[in-house]
Homo-oligomer: A and B are copies of this chain.
């Protein structure tokens, strides 16, 4: 409370604080933004099309290309100053025929279980892979068990997401190394495959895919990796207690092709005062293939498109150039985000602010901000403008994967932070579908983003020459 008091006093006596008049004007403009989003929003219709007419948009897929064309066409309808495609080469990995797996506890006694290949995994041999299983609760267990206990076996990573963390992304962060590096690490001990408990806080039958790496593992030593549903993981773990020598069989048919051409989709309203200073808002257009990618990250794309649509609709003429960027290939390569940053640097485009939405289309709770103190304090000082919309959380934290490559001194990165409780019920699974998105929650997120961009455009970012006095 003392710190809060000092902060308030600092703000009240700071010359940088928004004047009372400015505050009232900002409140009215933000009210107009929220009204327009809730009464006449477009994001939900766009998402309906992306999800239900196109579907899952894995990089290099036909669906990803359709999504590029569709969003380019929709941006072209908005009367922006420029809309263009930015070419980027992306990896192409396909799942192939659906995976199949069973747990065999005795000859002739087996039960099937739901799995899916992890993104980037190699296939099993044509006849599938069958081996005994060693259960671990993380990569750190491999060394304790040693090669003798692992060689020739399937390693089953079963550390669950921690349920008593309030921010479920923290729970995810505490487990996802099993998925990302589990196969690479297990291969070092002679494992023949890995099965990873799905990154899901719910007990259900859905496997959740996601990216993995083989690092510099030679091609001939790469082992197949799959995710198993949370119910399946619990069953397998129980069965192992009764029958430590049970066999796990799985077959997956995934394949990596040569990189293919794809695109970031970009639209711009050119700034009236600082046309060469860029503020961008974006999400990623690619998704995993099991669901239709509505939350991850169709929501972020249509919310970002909505920001520019709202500005045009409300006849707001920004001082800075505002771009919507729909990044390709966040999920399994980050090529789009990397490419965008490279080109910005090559062209000497000065980016001052980047905002990403990539945490689901749920009720917005606030923003995380990756910036220096002066810029963070400025954004924090806007809290009261967001409180009427029950948006209250302004903390330091990362902006988002796609905008990460833009990071350099002076730029402000921010991420929309929606409510996280339901996110991992859907993330990378067949349940990431349009019906799991609530129209109002999606629209509130877009309005929150538009409001933050409006404020950043109006007040600008702080540079070292003009720090907040605090």
Contact = CB atoms under 8 A, between A and B. Distances in A.
B363 A390 contact: no
A1 B441 contact: no
Nearest to A8: B5
Contacts of A439: 202
A12 interface: yes
Contacts of A392: 392-393
B419 A163 contact: no
Interface in A72-113: none
A447 to B, nearest CB: 10
Interface stretch (A34-42, A120-128, A214-222, A306-314): A34-42
Given A202-B439, A422-B438, A9 B5 contact: yes
A421 interface: yes
A306 B454 CA distance: 44
A384 B4 CA distance: 11
Nearest to A4: B8
A151 B70 CA distance: 52
Contact of A1 (B8, B35, B38): B8
A34 to B, nearest CB: 7
A296 interface: no
B438 A39 contact: no
Given A384-B1, A421-B441, A440-B421, A38 B164 contact: yes
Nearest to A36: B164
How many copies the complex holds: the figure is 2
Contacts of A166: 34, 388-390, 444
A201 interface: yes
Contact of A438 (B12, B35, B421): B421
Interface string A167-195: 01000000000000000000000000000
A437 to B, nearest CB: 11
A2 interface: yes
B5 A12 contact: yes
A425 interface: yes
A39 B1 contact: no
A335 interface: no
A11 interface: yes
Interface string A380-417: 00001000111011000000000000000000000000
A351 interface: no
A235 to B, nearest CB: 19
Contacts of A2: 12
Given A8-B4, A163-B39, A422 B393 contact: no
A378 B330 CA distance: 47
Nearest to A441: B421
A28 B335 CA distance: 45
Interface in A417-439: 419, 421-422, 425, 438-439
A388 to B, nearest CB: 7
B12 A1 contact: yes
Contacts of A421: 363, 438, 440-441, 444
A451 B384 CA distance: 26
A9 B9 CA distance: 11
A35 B5 contact: no
Interface string A29-57: 00000110011000000000000000000
A39 B363 contact: no
Contacts of A4: 8
B38 A163 contact: yes
A5 B1 CA distance: 11
A425 B2 CA distance: 42
Contacts of A440: 163, 168, 201, 421-422
A5 B12 CA distance: 9
Contact of A35 (B35, B164, B201, B384): B164
A284 interface: no
Give 6 nearest A-B pairs by CB, closest first. Answer: A38-B164, A35-B164, A421-B440, A392-B392, A38-B163, A421-B441
Given A201-B440, A392-B393, 10 more contacts: A4-B8, A5-B8, A5-B9, A39-B164, A166-B444, A363-B421, A390-B393, A421-B441, A421-B444, A422-B438
21 contacts: A1-B11, A2-B12, A4-B8, A5-B8, A5-B9, A8-B8, A34-B164, A34-B166, A38-B163, A38-B164, A39-B163, A166-B390, A166-B444, A201-B440, A202-B438, A363-B363, A363-B421, A419-B419, A421-B444, A422-B438, A422-B441
